[in-house]
Amino acid sequence: MRFPRTTRRKIANVVMLGLTAVATLATVSVLFFILGYLVVKGGSSISWAFLTRLPKPVGESGGGMANAIVGSAKLLAIAAATGLPVGFMAGLYVSEFASKAMAGGVRYAADLLNGVPSIVIGIFVYTLLVLPMKHFSTLAGGVALGIMMIPIMARSTEEFLRAVPGSLREASLALGATRAVTIARVVVPAAMRGILTAAMLGLARVAGETAPLLFTALNNRFWSPGFNQPISSLPVMIYTYALSPYEDWLRQAWAAGLVLLALVLLANIGARLLLGGRLHSG
Amino acid sequence: MRTISAALSTIRLPRPRLVARLARSDRLAHLLAGVFGLLVVCVTGALAWQLWSNSLLPRQRFGWGFLFRQVWDPVAGEFGAAAFIYGTLVTSATALLVAVPCGVGVAIFLAELAPRRVSDLASALIDLLAAVPSVIYGLVGVSILVPVMRTWLQPALKSVTGGFFLFSGPAYGVGFLTAGLVLAIMVIPFIVSVGREVLLAVPREQREAALALGSTRWETTWRVVLPYARPGLYGAIFLALGRALGETMAVTMVIGNRPEIARSLFAPGYSMAAVIANEFTEATGDLYLQSLVEVGLVLFVLTMVINAVARLLIAATTRKGST
């Protein structure tokens, strides 16, 4: 190069752009690092016993996390039963019925709720359900997760309903259908795939939540029949075991981490494939 | 006979009544959906109210001083949130110092350089990073990052900076710096995904004009694209900050859990979310429990403000870009 200044600029160009590529590579590799590390540390500990047995008392090795796996499933079922319908109907309201002011209000409330730290949701449900009932329960834990799902569900329902073309609505209305019929028979079915995917993503997100369960569902080393007792869950189990001094518990924490991460990532990848990349997180 | 009369009644059903009934069902549907919309508002309102009303005792006892007192003594019944607020702010600031250059760099690569397919794939993978549960970041942090910090990174930083106050004191492994680094990894996906959208919204002409004037790709990005997208990038950063402030599990596991204000980033500390997570179930007495609720209230207000700022900034930029 004849001009040093040009050379400098070109070098700066290559170096800085190269750094952005390095940053990207590093960020993406963190994902594979975490996944790989969990597979290495936890893969060997996943066994039939791990999936089907109850935890053993301290000092005895072996045992499993069957109660935590079932517990997570039960908590998610409550979360889905409470959070999904509320979020869906609220999204439907904002998209199809609400006046501009009402839509703004509901949307603002949902955004606010979405930004609330999960531990604060835990406090809220504690004061709402645990204090009056005077004990920790499966129900409280599930409701805490359900509340976290409401804004996720409301926002994506609204988005997907809005994406339904106006011509579809007009065609239905022109055939004499009322608005309620149009929404129930035309608009919602057209957006159903997106909404179901969003529900799946929402469930995957709250499945990994620990903080709102710490003082709502608490933990339990045994089975928890019904909905009225404390219950174990995979994230809380990982938290408890990860900080324990016992080798065997640590081993199980890795295994549980692998199970949880695999479920969450599979749900996410599945949702993405189902939607063909139309959904953007955020 | 009955079937005939039933058939007759169907035939004679006057059409106007049918229309009226369906119209009423329209209003019914509106009403039903509206109830749920209102429910969302009520839940959010109830959350704020519960936090407020359940922190009455410490607010009466300590007033605004609660925010500035460093003492946290459950036995003596003296509570103040200063150490926790400090810990939350310091870890979040550390996280942003690492995550912002890195995250914006990734966003630049994905929006400006990478071919579409590479960009989409990398974005999808980084979005998956955002889906990894917090407790797993904590698990990996405790077993990998903490030993690495203790034996390698902290001694190295100490000898390089030569006793600079931020990097002084014994290397415990756990502490503000470790928590900040874990948080950085956790919030990078948020900066990347919003940042990429914002950069992609910058009009093509802006880039072409700069390139036509002889700028290199980097100069175009640095002097034209980034300034154009600045408010949106700030929005992305505030969004990340909102996440970092409220993050609980990963921080709780690596911050060290000592309620003290230390100048060194190596020192163990405590954050607002962490103290709630650790002490809530063990809190004895109303004052203790309500003090923890008030810490939650402070956290709630803080994240609410930060998120509101983020939303305004992002909305402003994407609107500008799309027109």
* Chain A environment of B30 (Cβ under 8 Å): 97
- pLDDT 10s digits, B195-212: 999 999 999 999 999 999
This model of the complex carries an ipTM of 0.92
DSSP string covering A187-231: IHHHHHHHHHHHHHHHHHHHHT--GGGTTTT---SS---SSSS--
- Using CB atoms, pick whichever of B139, B219, B253 lies closest to residue A257: B139
In total, the C-beta contacts within 8 angstroms joining chain A to chain B are 271
CA pair distance A111, A99, nearest whole angstrom: 18
Confidence of residue B187 (pLDDT cuts 50, 70, 90): very high
Instruction: Select A70-275's CATH number: 3.30.470.20, 1.10.630.10, 3.40.50.300, 1.10.3720.10.
Output: 1.10.3720.10
Q: How far is CA B274 from CA A133, B199, B239, in A?
A: 25, 35, 20
Interchain contact, A27 vs B188, CB within 8 Å: yes
Interchain contact, B128 vs A178, CB within 8 Å: no
Q: Which residue has the higher pLDDT, A23 or B321?
A: A23
Taking a contact as any Cβ pair under 8 Å apart, which residues of chain A between 211 and 270 contact chain B? 211, 214-215, 218, 235, 238-239, 242-243, 250, 253-254, 257, 260-261, 264-265, 268-269
Q: Nearest residue of A to residue B310 by CA position?
A: A115
CATH top-level class for B64-322? mainly alpha
Alpha helices in chain B (DSSP H): 2-12, 15-53, 56-62, 82-108, 116-131, 134-140, 146-148, 154-161, 176-200, 204-212, 217-220, 226-228, 230-246, 249-254, 272-279, 286-322
Contact between A234 and A68 under an 8 Å Cβ cutoff? The reply is yes
pLDDT of res. B166: 87
Q: Which is nearest to B172 in space by CA: B98, B91, B254, B230? A: B254
pLDDT of res. B322: 45
- The one-letter amino acid code at A216 reads T
CA distance B76 to chain A (A): 24
- pLDDT 10s digits, A151-191: 999 999 999 999 999 999 999 999 988 888 899 999 999 99
Q: Is A5 exposed, middle or buried (0-12, 13-18, 19+ CB in 10 A)?
A: exposed
Interchain contact, A109 vs B192, CB within 8 Å: no
- pLDDT 10s digits, B63-118: 999 999 999 999 999 999 999 999 999 999 999 999 999 999 999 999 999 999 99
Contact between B110 and B119 under an 8 Å Cβ cutoff? The reply is yes
